[in-house]
Structure 1
Amino acid sequence: MAVFVALGAFLMTLFGGWTAQRVTDRRHLVLGLAGGLMLGVVGLDLLPEALEAAGQPLFGVPQALLLFVAGFLVAHLVERLLATRRVAHGAEETDGAPPRAPQVGLTAAAAMVTHSMMDGIAIGAAFQVGEAMGLTVALAVVAHDFADGFNTYTITSLYGNTRARALAMLFADACAPVVGAASTLLFTIPLEALGSYLGFFGGALLYLAAAEILPEAHHTHPARSTLLCTVGGVGFIWLVVGLGH
Structure 2
Amino acid sequence: MAVIVALGAFLMTLAGGWTALRVTDRRHLVLGLAGGLMLGVVGLDLLPEALDAAGTEVFGVPAALLLFVAGFLMAHLVERLLAVRQAAHGAEEHDGRAPEVGLTAASAMVGHSAMDGVAIGAAFQVGGGMGAAVALAVVAHDFADGFNTYTITSLYGNARRRALAMLFADAVAPVVGAASTLLFTIPEPLLGAYLGLFGGALLYLAAAEILPEAHHEHSARSTVLCTIAGAAFIWLVVGVAE
Normalised TM-score (structure 2):
0.98
**Equivalent residue number for residue 37 of structure 1:** 37
User: 2:77 & 2:33 partners in 1: Cα distance?
Assistant: 25
Show CA shifts across 1:217-242 (max 9, x none). Answer: 00000000000000000000000000
Structure 1 position 130 matched with structure 2 position 127 = yes
User: 1:232-243 counterparts in 2 under 5 A?
Assistant: 232-243=229-240
The residue type equivalent to 1:62 in the other structure is P
User: 1:170 & 1:85 partners in 2: Cα distance?
Assistant: 27
Give the number of aligned pairs: 242
User: 1:33 & 1:120 partners in 2: Cα distance?
Assistant: 24
Structure 1 pair 157–58 and aligned structure 2 pair: CA distance change class (3 A): same
User: 1:14-25 counterparts in 2 under 5 A?
Assistant: 14-25=14-25
Normalised TM-score (structure 1):
0.97
SS in 2 for 1:219: coil
Structure 1 position 181 matched with structure 2 position 184 = no
User: 1:198-237 counterparts in 2 under 5 A?
Assistant: 198-237=195-234
**Equivalent residue number for residue 148 of structure 1:** 145
**Alpha-carbon shift at residue 69 of structure 1 (Å):** 0.3
SS in 1 for 2:215: helix
The residue type equivalent to 1:151 in the other structure is N
**Alpha-carbon shift at residue 93 of structure 1 (Å):** 6.1
- Extract unaligned runs of 5+ from structure 1: none
SS in 1 for 2:184: coil
SS in 1 for 2:169: helix
Structure 1 position 197 matched with structure 2 position 194 = yes
The residue type equivalent to 1:28 in the other structure is H
The residue type equivalent to 2:45 in the other structure is D
The residue type equivalent to 1:33 in the other structure is L
93, 107, 112: which is aligned to 2:104? 107
Show CA shifts across 1:110-167 (max 9, x none). Answer: 0000000000000000100111111111011000000000000000000010000000
User: 2:90 & 2:103 partners in 1: Cα distance?
Assistant: 21
User: 1:46-85 counterparts in 2 under 5 A?
Assistant: 46-85=46-85
**Alpha-carbon shift at residue 84 of structure 1 (Å):** 1.2
**Alpha-carbon shift at residue 91 of structure 1 (Å):** 3.9
**Alpha-carbon shift at residue 90 of structure 1 (Å):** 2.0
User: 1:41 & 1:55 partners in 2: Cα distance?
Assistant: 20
User: 1:93 & 1:16 partners in 2: Cα distance?
Assistant: 28
User: 1:185 & 1:92 partners in 2: Cα distance?
Assistant: 46
**Alpha-carbon shift at residue 243 of structure 1 (Å):** 0.5
User: 2:155 & 2:66 partners in 1: Cα distance?
Assistant: 29
Say what the alpha-carbon RMSD is for the aligned residues: 1.0
